[in-house]
Amino acid sequence: MFVHAAQRLGYHVAVLDPEQNCPASQAADRHFAPKNAAEAKIMAEEMARLCSVITLEFENVDVDLVRLAARVTRVAPGPDFLETCQDRVTEKSRLSQSGFPTTPFVHVNCSNEANEAGEELGWPIVLKTARSGYDGKGQVVVRSAEQLHQAWDSLKTNRAVAEKMIDFEAEVSVIAARNAAGQVAAFPMFENEHANHILDVTRCPVSASLKDVEESGLQICCDIADTFSVVGLFCVEFFVTRDGGLMINEMAPRPHNSGHLTMEAFAVSQFEQQVRAICNLPLSSCESGRPAAMVNLLGDVWESGDPNWAQAFQRGDTHLHLYGKA
């Protein structure tokens, strides 16, 4: 979807992904597909020499490869912001030190420290590995000290965060972009529902009860963009607390699933806005043309054969995006 957005603006696109038939390669002008770490370094340098700018589609990539590319060409967002977002301890610490509202947390390195964190934060807590966790992976809810040691062993890590479990009213996200000239633009707040820790449904505008926190959420994202000197597009996921507060859950230095509805319902899609940001073009208006909802389709939809798309298209304003993701 990013590739199509860039091509519509006249750019040629290369992608680096070890998967031979990855979704982006099906549309890109060139695909670098390394078979091992040594090839990845060679291809990252070759791609950097070819491209005027490189951006990110996924945060769990080797930051050393990104730094290697950044020595040859511009990378946006840069490796420092990527490294921050890759590590939950670093991310939460830097956000908190900069005055942004995060979930209460403690950095822990062993089960005894995690137990102390539970006593400090109050049970239940959520234990999360510092790295490589998404869609509910690398985290476990611990409701009491008695559950702690088994939960810690299940994570198979020696670096984690213990977070206070938040009794939230809603989960929301805000996507923002910043270009090298310092222009910042944020989409309206999106309201999200998850199933098994994976995004299921996104709606915009948010419910009336969440309108009071929307402006604060947008301002937080714009301030993060400036504080961390982000160039590119990123997403911040929030919890809305019962008393109407906002707490940052996590950040993603890339387009976000919740932003897919921008493709038809907004003046600009998150993907075109990403292209504009990294190419230092003026950012587009993030105004919404109409209310919208997005449903995230996973592989189980095909368990009984092809879905009945014709039924979905009974509504003339339904749009389907299948992009070959395994």
Cβ pair 32, 25 in contact under 8 A = no
Residue 326 is predicted with a pLDDT of: 62
Q: DSSP states of 111-125 as a string? A: HHHHHHHHHHH-SSE
Confidence band, pLDDT 50/70/90 cuts, at residue 325: confident
Cβ pair 2, 278 in contact under 8 A = no
> What is the radius of gyration, based on Cα positions, of the chain?
20
Residue 138 is predicted with a pLDDT of: 87
Q: DSSP states of 25-55 as a string? A: GGT-SEEE--SSHHHHHHHHHHHHHH-SEE-
Instruction: State the pTM of this model.
Output: 0.95
Residue 196 is predicted with a pLDDT of: 87
pLDDT at 285 over 90: yes
More confident residue, 289 or 24: 24
Give the whole-angstrom CA distance, residue 236 versus residue 248. Answer: 7
- Average pLDDT of the residues in 10-21: 96
**Cβ contacts of residue 61 below 8 Å, gap of 6+?**
82
Average per-residue pLDDT in the chain?
A: 95
Q: pLDDT tens across 253-274, in order?
A: 999 999 999 999 999 999 999 9
- Average pLDDT of the residues in 164-176: 97
Can you tell me which residue has the tokens 């075109």?
Answer: 272
Q: pLDDT tens across 49-77, in order?
A: 999 999 999 999 999 999 999 999 999 99
Give the whole-angstrom CA distance, residue 160 versus residue 115. Answer: 12
Residue 102 is predicted with a pLDDT of: 98
Beta pairing, strands 74-75 & 53-54: parallel
Q: Which of 24, 51, 25 is nearest to 254 (CA)?
A: 24
Cβ pair 55, 13 in contact under 8 A = no
Residue 289 is predicted with a pLDDT of: 83
Domains and CATH numbers, the chain: 2-85 (3.40.50.20), 104-164 (3.30.1490.20), 168-301 (3.30.470.20)
Does residue 254 sit in helix, strand or coil?
coil
Confidence band, pLDDT 50/70/90 cuts, at residue 135: low
CA separation (Å) from 287 to 60, 181, 247, 290? 31, 21, 25, 9
Q: How many CB atoms lie within 10 A of CB 146?
A: 9
pLDDT at 315 over 70: yes
Q: pLDDT tens across 83-122, in order?
A: 999 999 999 999 999 999 999 999 999 999 999 999 999 9
Residue 197 is predicted with a pLDDT of: 85
